[in-house]
């Protein structure tokens, strides 16, 4: 069984994932930290763990958009005082996307990698892509051959589906352009930490203003780390803000390995908070799932898009089944799907937090 809690991360993602180990052991993964304004939810979740048991098997930073990475910056700042231990950090920073020494990286990315380095945390080790003694390699699909997999404690396994090298190459250009004027030297921890010390409220470096029917062309979104998490026969697909076509290519390669015309998952954390630009017909047609997890309060970009939710309902209601749309906020942008008559007519169920409660926990 896999449990995912979509913490109240405003318009971003902060996903707390757990699965059982041997005996009473519980294994944990945090995927992104949301924007800085709602970091308290992440802080309180970690603090609620008993002292001496504040541990993450994996911390995943899917990409460098502010609504995913800002909370991670603050969590790493708080980590020593919280007594939080982390087995491995999955993050494609400047050292992974470029081997050139004259290219620059986004400010938050530089801050995260500076703290990973200074705190001597394991970095991108779980997939075994680097040889002993080598610096951490990018979490990136090879051009051909098997998809990278990581065996995790407790019998869980992650299969990497995104990004590919072309997406990281595109990110490289934007990474440099964004920060070149900030006076930071790439990979220089002192520069990044000095800038961090001056910022009480971190600003986003890349904003996706797309929506509607247009494909997402945001370069940071396209570089999202996405993966299939498996444990004891259960599957959870985690997608960051990944592009529908990029995720589709990863799923095609997975289908080639597994056989069949779709990939069956128990739940899909939908990409980009339910944007129609990412939750494409092509992506959803590759999946056999009835449960769709939507992490957003609708602020800033007014997600989820009605078109995207309609696609989820259609995809999840194939045959005799019924879709389940799980929201971690009941807000003006998620409320329309609460209508009981509409749920009966379209054959779906909408799940919301209890009144006066933020965040939703789902068992997969």
d(CA 242, CA 222): 5
Paired tokens of 303: 């997600």
Q: What are the angstrom distances between the C-alpha of 337 and each of 10, 303, 349? A: 19, 13, 9
Token readout for 84 is 């939080």
Single pTM value for the model: 0.73
What's the gap between Cα 134 and its chain centre?
26
What pLDDT, on the 0 to 100 scale, is given for residue 363? 95
pLDDT of residue 100: 40
What is the β-pairing status of strands 263-264 and 287-288? parallel
CA 250 to chain centre: 16
Residue 248 dihedral angles phi and psi, to the nearest 5°: -60, -40
Note whether 115 and 77 are within 8 A (CB): yes
Q: Mapping DSSP to helix (H, G, I), strand (E, B) and coil, where does residue 127 land?
A: coil
Tell me the CATH architecture of domain 3-201+211-363: 4-Layer Sandwich (3.60)
CA distance linking residue 107 with residue 175, whole number of Å: 9
What are the structure tokens assigned to 289, written together? 């799932």
Three-state SS for 123?
Answer: strand
Residue carrying the six token digits 């993050």: 91
Compute the chain's Rg from CA coordinates: 19
**pLDDT < 50 stretches in the chain:** 99-105, 201-213
pLDDT at 172: 80
Instruction: For residue 10, give the nearest of 68, 59, 63, 77 by alpha carbon.
Output: 68
Contacts 24+ apart (CB under 8 A), 114-117: 114/189, 114/192, 114/193, 114/196, 115/73, 115/76, 115/77, 115/193, 116/76, 116/89, 116/91, 117/189
């Amino acid at each position: 069984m896999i449990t995912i809690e979509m913490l109240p991360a405003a318009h971003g993602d902060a996903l707390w994932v757990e699965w059982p180990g041997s005996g009473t052991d519980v294994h944990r993964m945090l995927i992104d930290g949301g924007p800085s304004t709602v970091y308290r939810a992440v802080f309180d979740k970690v603090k609620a763990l008993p002292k001496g048991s504040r541990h993450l098997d994996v911390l995943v930073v899917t990409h460098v958009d502010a609504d995913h990475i800002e909370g991670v910056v603050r969590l790493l700042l708080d980590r020593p005082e919280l007594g939080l231990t982390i087995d491995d950090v999955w993050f494609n920073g400047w050292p992974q996307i470029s081997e050139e020494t004259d290219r620059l990286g986004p400010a938050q990315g530089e801050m995260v990698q500076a703290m990973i380095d200074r705190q001597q945390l394991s970095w991108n080790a779980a997939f075994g892509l680097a040889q002993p003694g080598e610096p951490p390699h990018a979490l990136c699909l090879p051009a051909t051959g098997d998809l990278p997999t990581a065996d995790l404690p407790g019998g869980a396994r992650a299969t990497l589906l995104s990004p590919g090298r072309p997406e990281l190459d595109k990110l490289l250009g934007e990474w440099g352009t964004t920060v070149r004027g900030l006076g930071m030297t790439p990979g220089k921890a002192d520069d990044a930490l000095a800038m961090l010390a001056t910022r009480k409220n971190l600003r986003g470096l890349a904003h996706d203003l797309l929506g509607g029917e247009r494909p997402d062309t945001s370069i940071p979104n396209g570089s999202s780390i996405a993966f299939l998490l498996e444990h004891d026969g259960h599957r959870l697909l985690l997608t960051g803000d990944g592009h529908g076509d990029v995720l589709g290519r990863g799923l095609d390669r997975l289908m080639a390995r597994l056989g069949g015309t779709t990939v069956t998952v128990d739940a899909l954390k939908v990409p980009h908070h339910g944007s129609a630009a990412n939750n494409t017909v092509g992506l959803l047609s590759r999946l056999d799932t009835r449960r769709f997890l939507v992490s957003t309060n609708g602020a800033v970009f007014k997600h989820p898009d009605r078109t995207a939710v309609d696609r989820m309902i259609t995809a999840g209601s194939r045959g005799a089944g019924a879709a389940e749309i799980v929201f971690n906020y009941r807000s003006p942008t998620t409320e329309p799907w609460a209508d009981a008559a509409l749920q009966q007519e379209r054959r779906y169920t909408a799940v919301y937090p209890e009144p006066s409660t933020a965040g939703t926990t789902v068992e997969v």
